[in-house]
Amino acid sequence: MCAAAAVVAALLVWAPAARAQGIPFSQHGTVSQRVGTTDIAIEYNRPVARGRKLFGDGGVVRWGEVWHPGADSATTITFSRDVTVEGRPLGGGAYTLWAIPQPDAWTIIFSRAVHVFHYPYPGQDQDALRVDVRPEAGPHMDALAYYFPVVAADSTILRLHWGETVVPIHIRTTREP
């Protein structure tokens, strides 16, 4: 039995018991990082690939459509101070994350609409910032993850990683106290 089939078979056995106990399929995750004097925190629920095709035609996430990178409640990112994202200013505060994936470029959306569900998208009138980034290939990550692999005195890279797709988001902070 291939690894993907083994995972699916295990989930078929585990899922009913987990559901009966009220355990969600998409477990809650948090990650935070201090960059200089700025705290960055992300709260999200982690969808699991479970052998499914993730992106593109026939995938969980379709190319060119607004998608919430997470599950259940919309992923929230909080900045304790003003930052720049991909060279563009973004004020300190809380935002929800949304994305428009394409094979060679993703649009990452920071929305002012917080405390919302992952569907429907709150609309462009709630957008605080949109930036375009280039996805990269990476090792398979079954559960969606956000992490900070590179942290400098005044900058970091936040990575959104699911399946073999890695989306790096460059964030710069200020060194001022």
**Is residue 80 a contact partner of residue 92, using CB atoms and an 8 Å limit?**
yes
Token representation of residue 69: 């990178």
As for how many domains the chain has, the answer is 1
Residue 145, in any domain of the structure:
yes
Residue 20, in any domain of the structure:
no
Residue 38, in any domain of the structure:
yes
Structural domain containing residue 108 = 25-172
Residue 18, in any domain of the structure:
no
Q: What is the pTM of this model?
A: 0.84
Residue 82, in any domain of the structure:
yes
Residue 14, in any domain of the structure:
no
Could you read off the pLDDT of 129-157 as tens digits, one per residue? 999 999 999 999 999 999 999 999 999 99
User: Quick check: 53 pLDDT over 70?
Assistant: yes
